[in-house]
Amino acid sequence: MKIDPIIITSLFIYFLQTYTGNILIAVNPFQRLPHLYDSHMMAQYKGAAFGELSPHPFAVADAAYRLMINEGISQAILVSGESGAGKTESTKLLMRYLAYMGGRLASEGRSVEQKVLESNPVLEAFGNAKTVRNNNSSRFGKFVELQFDERGRISGAAIRTYLLERSRVCQLSDPERNYHCFYMLCAAPPEDIKHLKLGNPRTFHYLNQTNCYELDGIDDAKEYTATRKAMDTVGISSEEQDSIFRVIAAILHLGNIEFTKGKEYDSSMPKDEKSWFHLRTAAELFMCDEKALEDSLCRRVIVTRDETITKELDPEAAVSSRDALAKVVYSRLFDWLVDKINNSIGQDPNSKYLIGVLDIYGFESFKTNSFEQFCINLTNEKLQQHFNQHVFKMEQEEYTREEINWSYIEFIDNQDVLDLIEKKPGGIIALLDEACMFPRSTHDTFAQKLYQTFKNHKRFSKPKLARSDFTICHYAGDVTYQTELFLEKNKDYVIAEHQALLSASKCSFASSLFPVSNEETSKQSKFSSIGSRFKQQLQALLETLSATEPHYIRCVKPNNLLKPHIFENQNVLQQLRCGGVLEAIRISCAGYPTKRPFYEFVDRFGVLAPEALDGSTDEVAVCKKLLEKVGLEGYQIGKTKVFLRAGQMAVLDTKRTEILGKSASIIQRKIRSYMARKSFILFRRSTILIQSVCRGELARHDYETKRREASCLRIQRDLRMYIARKVYKEKRASALSVQTGMRGMAARNELRFRRQTKAAILIQSHCRKFLAHSKYVKLKKATITTQSAWRGRVARKELRSLKMAARETGALQAAKNKLEKQVEELTWRLQLEKRMRTDLEEAKTQENTKLRTAVQELQLQLKEAKDTLVKEREAAKTAAETIPVIQEVPVVDHELTEKLNAENAELKDLVSSLKTKIIETEKKYEETYKLSEERLKQAMEAESMIVKLKTTMHSLEERIADMESENKIQWQSLLTNKGVPPQSPDLASKVLENGNHANESITLNDLLLTPEKGFETPDNKPRRPPIDRQHEDVDALMECVVKDVGFSQGKPVAAFTIYKCLLHWKSFEAERTSVFDRLVQMIGSAIEDQDSNDHMAYWLSNTSTLLFLLQKSMKPAGTAGTASVRKPQPTSLFGRMTMGFRSSPSTVNFGAASAALETVKQVEAKYPALLFNQQLIAYVEKMYGIIRDNLKKELGSLLALCIQAPRTSKGSVLRSGRSFGKESHTNHWQGIIDCLNTLLTTLKENFVPPVLVQKIFTQTFQYVNVQLFNSLLLRRECCTFSNGEYVKSGLAELELWCCQAKDEYAGSAWDELKHIRQAVGFLVIHQKYRISYDEIINDLCPVLSVQQLYRICTLYWDDNYNTRSVSSEVISSMRVLMTEDSNNAVSNSFLLDDNSSIPFSIDELSNSIEVKDFLDVKPAIDLLENPYFHFLHE
């Protein structure tokens, strides 16, 4: 039996994980599968037996944890595999599960397990890089020790690292990248980049040696933020973080320092100004002296016994010194990070057990293999030996321990390769250390030494045509190493100048990386190599692993393209061979792969022979009886276990399943019998209960009858008592009435006598008073007559001057009347011109329609005649060919020919005449169109003239009002100064008798009747005229409401305050006023900032509320109680504002206001109020359109991204729409939800009427439907199955938003998405080819037209499951229907149009608000403190 095809087939079927004995083989899927590694999956594997559930890393971790708890033995999990196989991710999953099992909260700060998990991002940022085989390859080895207490809780942890690849800092090969931290720092926030003087990675030498700067699906800026957060978690302070990134930036600047020859021989210096800049920047970041940094790079100090010699370095040596400094700084920084993480996590010296997780580099073999690959492959050789010792030897030791019959199984031992590499004193590492100690040694001499030493070794060979290369035959294959950089990379020492430079740094962090040690200075000559140190670390690791119980996970990379769903058999097979998996399977199959303890075997398969278990306690005998009854052969019985050959376990499981199935049938029969009896008992109890209830009901009925009889007797007794008592009370009341009448008559007589006496006394007193008053009046009248004569003379003189001023006022009034007549005349002319133009266009349209119809009918007749003629000719030709020709005799039907020629001529004449008429009609149409354009231009000029005249008229009215008020004030002041008394009848009659004008006397009397208090303050001080007072009040109102005064009881304070002021000032009833113009100007200037939705929503709320109050208050003369049909309003703001000049606002239902409430009062509206009403309507519609268009503009860019799923998520996300929101890096649908929530919150905060909010979101959703549906029909990449699932998940979020917003604000917005919902629903159907056309148009997509359905069906393609579209019969049916509708221009258009009209009327707005909502609204607080606005307190 061949093992290779079987294991490959098993991996291909399971693809993710499978078991080989106790070894887990994990295949990298190259995609995110979060549902396989969440907390729910952890709970399933918790406590489950190994092998009971599907293969999984959690199962290995749980087995290790259970063994540690139950047997008290420390465990180790070894994760191995080549680069890109998923070792790091598997290690993370293992640590997550162990933290889940043994996690607990620490007393302070974060828990230990969380710090361990958060240390992974930090170490990956500084120790991982992109290689040829892996985008996130670990360039160091890592062994994590999780320490547990006696209760199995994590009490401490430690992280050990091995062999960081230092040379990667300075040397790169295409297409690899440097360590991730360099690219993260270049993508840091702008302030950090400016502080560290960084820029694009392409500008740094250590990063631009390759063309790869970015990784697909990785945002370096977000990774920088995540790394910072992880550093906070593991206990690295912000100051230490800043110092770390200062050192990283300094390394980048070091790499940009170039050198050229200096002034002296073999000397060097920075090349140019750019190099000097980077030198200064590096010195600034290291916080060291610039000159000292230059000397450490360009010079060496040699200390002898007698003197100190300074040696200059050439440019090549200076570059090497620069790179050496960068590598040693980065290496020390990485070691500091590991120590800091260990100190932060903390180790528990009293821990009972530990579980170690080893994540170390896999076997590497490249085109160029250097010292790093040599050390990595040595590690894998050591681990392979440990694997052999544990797996192979353990298997055979178990056979020996159980004392069963078996034959020895051979396996490959790699001890000779380990001796070749690390044996002392003749191993490769020993020879390398020896070569490094001699200054004159080179890689050539080292290679020659290797050739001489190992020329006869079977594992060592020299490649052909190579001078310094050598090849080692590893367990995984032959690897050829290049020795050019072996000596340089093996040396582990710091240049003295670099040590002194950074030790003296002013940066405490940088100096702490290079501490000054007396021991080091005294032992500078002692040699230290990386190879020897790494060998010691490796030996310590193996000692740790030997003290634990190991578990193995072999990670496999299915392909070298790093893409999902690709399985390369040969590549996988080679990895399994390198990992020793195939050898383990061979040994297992050669022996007994299935082993079960006696108790477990009996417990599982005891049902196969129950009689063997009766009265028997010998498990060995029971197991033998079971196996003999089943009839298996080739098994072995050990001391504690049963050993089965391959396939025998499946036979036992099959028989066990059959017996359990029969037992289940018996159990079901018993259960059904029990349930039937239980149902019968319940039915019997219910019957008894019903009978008892019926008997109780009969008893209660009998009791009720007896109770009614007793009640009737009591009622009769009480009624008789009531009648007797009533008769008694009537007799008593009659006696009292007679007594009261007698006593009242006596009292009235006494009162009449007293009133007569009092009246007589009052008459006498008034008579005496009249006589005395008559005498006093005669004396006073004579005095007043004398005074009035003199004062009248003075007043007539002043009257003549006032009459001159009045004549000027009359002239202004006449000019005003003339302008009003001109305005009315221009208005009527404009209306007449528009009406004539409309009539002309309608007549022209009708005439054109009739002519086109006639032409089409004639063309059809001509076509039919031609077809008839052609058919007759063909028939004649056919008849002539079929009849045998005897003699050629020409036969011509001259009458028919002449008739056809005549008809043809008539038709041609008719067509020509129609063409002539059409041309004439088009000429008339052009002339009429020009005339209408001229008249329209004149109408627009007339409208502008009307506006100018209206403005002039208002200014004249104000001037007239001002002059009249000034005249009254002058008259009053004159009369007051002269001391004119109140009205004197004698004076008025004398003026009339002297022949003066009556009008003048009346005017004077009117002025004299005006109270003096009207122009004086309460303390008798003169105040300003009323017109100035009104202007000041209007200014105060404007100054108050132009600010954001907020809301009261959910209503805008500004609108309510304006309405109360207008109502108090009686502005609605005024024939002329400037208040409305001021308000319109204020609103227009307030909404100039159209980009702020918050500002626009505030003014929309105020304007709509003020419009509602005006609608409920105004009652124009002649329209009370009626409501005419609203005419179509102009679309432009100017047209709506000027419409008040031409027609009255008939859209307002003035009789709908409630007169019962004092808050809103009805008034007779005049022309200015009606005009102001029209202007408010225009502003409400304008602000509504601005808010709606702003929202559409925000959603436009997001909708373009939402119609197609992101490419990076198609591999894993689009399989399940539920996981999209979690995995997508840029969730554009969430951006749309955020925009909608932001606008809804703004509208709610500003208390915009709900009807306007509903219309805004309804039109917005209609816009979303149009954009998504049209994009779906125009772009083929959007008509896919996966894209349908993506859009469907986004629509589900919109539906959830509508439900959360409720119908009060969302309205019917969700129904507007019907086109895109039905289209997406059709895309995600799996078996489209089984659906008929009737099912599509009636059930699935009833809203979509035939053209739209045909477009979707032809563009559809499935990028996930390769399913077919609808059947060809359905496509043919659609094509036939489209051909039939081809003449219909509307049906040919398959795209949707967006509707941008105003979707609401003023009546809808008025009906959505109630007057009672304004009862508790408070006016503006600033105006309440003003004494001239005291009416707002009412």
Q: What pLDDT score does 87 carry? A: 83
Identify which of 409, 390, 402 has the alpha carbon closest to the alpha carbon of residue 635: 402
Strand partners, 1051: 1048
Cα first-last separation, the chain: 104
Look up residue 1342 and give its two tokens.
């009833």
Q: How far apart are CA 1266 and CA 1274, in angstroms?
A: 12
Query: Does the active-site annotation cover 83?
Result: yes
Contact of 112 with 155, CB cutoff 8 Å: yes
Q: Is the pLDDT of residue 1010 over 50?
A: no
Q: Is the pLDDT of residue 357 over 70?
A: yes
Q: Where are the beta strands (DSSP E) in 268-385?
A: 268-270, 299-303, 308-312, 353-359
Q: Is the pLDDT of residue 883 over 60?
A: no
pLDDT tens digit sequence for 12-29 = 554 556 666 568 888 888
Give the mean pLDDT of 26-51.
85
Model confidence at 115, pLDDT cuts 50, 70, 90, reads confident
Helix (H, G, I), strand (E, B) or coil at 1213: coil
> Which residues, 6 or more positions from 885, have their beta carbon under 8 angstroms from its beta carbon?
none
* Residue 570 main-chain phi, psi, to 5 deg: -65, -40
Query: Does the active-site annotation cover 864?
Result: no
Percent over 70 (pLDDT), the chain: 82
Winning range, highest mean pLDDT, from 149-158, 299-308, 771-780: 771-780
Least confident of 546-555, 814-823, 844-853, 1106-1115: 814-823
> Per-residue b/e over 931-949, b at no fewer than 16 CB within 10 Å?
ebeebeeebeebbeebeeb
In the numeric block, the tokens 């058919």 are attached to 871
| Residue 1079 host element (H or E) | helix 1075-1086
> Which residues, 6 or more positions from 1319, have their beta carbon under 8 angstroms from its beta carbon?
1269, 1272, 1341, 1344, 1348, 1352
Give the mean pLDDT of 1256-1279.
85
Helix (H, G, I), strand (E, B) or coil at 994: coil
Q: Is the pLDDT of residue 1009 over 50?
A: no
Q: What pLDDT score does 589 carry? A: 65
Strand partners, 80: 554
Q: Give the amino acid at 578.
A: C
Dmax of the chain from CA atoms?
166
Identify which of 342, 278, 336 has the alpha carbon closest to the alpha carbon of residue 509: 336
pLDDT tens digit sequence for 272-294 = 999 999 999 999 999 999 999 99
pLDDT tens digit sequence for 1145-1191 = 333 333 333 433 456 777 877 888 888 888 888 888 888 889 888 88
Query: Does the active-site annotation cover 199?
Result: no
Q: What pLDDT score does 692 carry? A: 94
Q: How far apart are CA 146 and CA 99, in angstroms?
A: 9
Pick the catalytic residue from 81, 102, 255, 362: 362
Contact of 827 with 946, CB cutoff 8 Å: yes
Query: Does the active-site annotation cover 84?
Result: yes
Pick the catalytic residue from 294, 364, 497, 943: 364
Query: Does the active-site annotation cover 827?
Result: no
Query: Does the active-site annotation cover 152?
Result: no
Percent over 90 (pLDDT), the chain: 17
Pick the catalytic residue from 128, 137, 344, 370: 137
Least confident of 107-116, 181-190, 470-479, 691-700: 107-116
pLDDT tens digit sequence for 439-468 = 788 889 999 999 999 988 899 999 988 888
Least confident of 310-319, 880-889, 1036-1045, 1386-1395: 880-889
Model confidence at 753, pLDDT cuts 50, 70, 90, reads very high
Q: How far apart are CA 182 and CA 223, in angstroms?
A: 11
Pick the catalytic residue from 74, 80, 82, 84: 84
pLDDT tens digit sequence for 238-267 = 999 999 999 999 999 999 999 999 888 788
Identify which of 230, 223, 274 has the alpha carbon closest to the alpha carbon of residue 253: 274
Pick the catalytic residue from 20, 119, 131, 134: 134
Give the mean pLDDT of 1109-1131.
52
| Residue 717 host element (H or E) | helix 648-882
Query: Does the active-site annotation cover 665?
Result: no
Identify which of 1335, 1355, 1333 has the alpha carbon closest to the alpha carbon of residue 1346: 1333
Give the mean pLDDT of 1341-1366.
80
Long-range contacts, 822-827 (Cβ 8 Å, 24+): 822/949, 823/946, 823/949, 823/950, 823/953, 823/1141, 826/942, 826/945, 826/946, 826/949, 827/946, 827/1141, 827/1142
pLDDT tens digit sequence for 851-865 = 778 778 877 877 887
Pick the catalytic residue from 18, 20, 74, 88: 88
Q: Is the pLDDT of residue 1383 over 70?
A: no
Q: Is the pLDDT of residue 181 over 90?
A: yes
Identify which of 1105, 1256, 1148, 1132 has the alpha carbon closest to the alpha carbon of residue 1192: 1256
Contact of 318 with 112, CB cutoff 8 Å: no
Look up residue 238 and give its two tokens.
């912000």
Pick the catalytic residue from 18, 20, 83, 1260: 83
Q: For all residues of the chain together, what is the average pLDDT? A: 79
Model confidence at 527, pLDDT cuts 50, 70, 90, reads low
Look up residue 928 and give its two tokens.
């009429």
Contact of 686 with 679, CB cutoff 8 Å: no
Contact of 359 with 145, CB cutoff 8 Å: no
Model confidence at 980, pLDDT cuts 50, 70, 90, reads very low
Pick the catalytic residue from 138, 281, 342, 1246: 138
Q: How far apart are CA 522 and CA 412, in angstroms?
A: 48
How many other C-beta atoms can be found within 10 angstroms of the C-beta atom of residue 605?
22
Look up residue 131 and give its two tokens.
């290689």
Strand partners, 529: 491
